[in-house]
Amino acid sequence: MATLYDTDFLKWIANQAAALRARRWDELDIEHLAEEVEALGRSERRELENRTLVIVQHLLKAQHQPMRSGWRATIRAEQAALARLLRDNPSLRREVPEAIRAIYPEARDLAAEEMGVPIGKLPATCPFTPEDILG
C-alpha cells in the first residue's frame, strides 16, 4: 500500500514537520524520518567529496599546465564553497583526508583526460595536503 511518503514526498515533509512542531508524536513516520535524517548526512558527505574532487582535479591541471588561469579561479570558488560547507558542518573537517583518498583516482583520471596527457604523467597518490585543498 502506497503511503504519502511514496506518493507526495513534499506533502509528507510538511506533515512530518507540522507533527514535530506540534509534538504530535503518534503522527510521525519514524522509520522514514530516520532514513531521511541519515540521507542528509550522506548528502553532506557527497558534497564534501564533490567539492574536493573538483579542487584536486584543478590543482593537478594547474600544476601541470600553469598557464591556464581559469583553473585557479575554479579552485578558489570551490575552496570558498568547501569552507562554507565545513563552517556549517564542522564535524566533516575530520573526513577531509578520507575524502581526498576516495576521490583522488577519479580526479587524476579526469585531469589527465582533460589535459590530454597519459595518466602515468600524474602522481599515483595525491600530492596535495588537506591544507592545500582547503586553501
Q: What is the pLDDT of residue 19?
A: 96
Please tell me the predicted confidence (pLDDT) of residue 123. Answer: 97
CATH of the domain at 118: 1.20.1220
Domain count, the chain: 1
Q: Centre a 10 Å sphere on the Cβ of residue 60 and count the other Cβ atoms it contains.
A: 26
Nearest to 61 by CA among 52, 70, 51: 70
pLDDT for res 72 = 87
pLDDT of the residue at 117:
94
Nearest alpha-carbon partner for 73 in 60, 86, 62: 62
pLDDT at 22 over 80: yes
Q: What angle do CA 97, 102, 106 make, to 5 degrees?
A: 130
Percent of the chain with pLDDT over 90: 87
Q: Give the containing element (helix H, strand E) for 99.
A: helix 96-115
Lowest mean pLDDT among 37-41, 91-95, 115-119: 37-41
Residue 47's domain spans which residues? 4-134
pLDDT for residue 108 is more than 90: yes
Q: What is the mean pLDDT of residues 55-83?
A: 89
The 10s digit of each residue's pLDDT in 7-20 is 999 999 999 999 99
**Cell numbers linked to 107:** 580526479
Axis-axis angle for helices 30-64, 70-88 (nearest 10): 150
* Three cell numbers, residue 4: 504519502
Phi, psi of 76 (to 5 degrees): -65, -40
Residues whose CB falls within 8 Å of the CB of residue 53, separated by 6 or more in sequence, listed in order:
103, 106, 107, 110
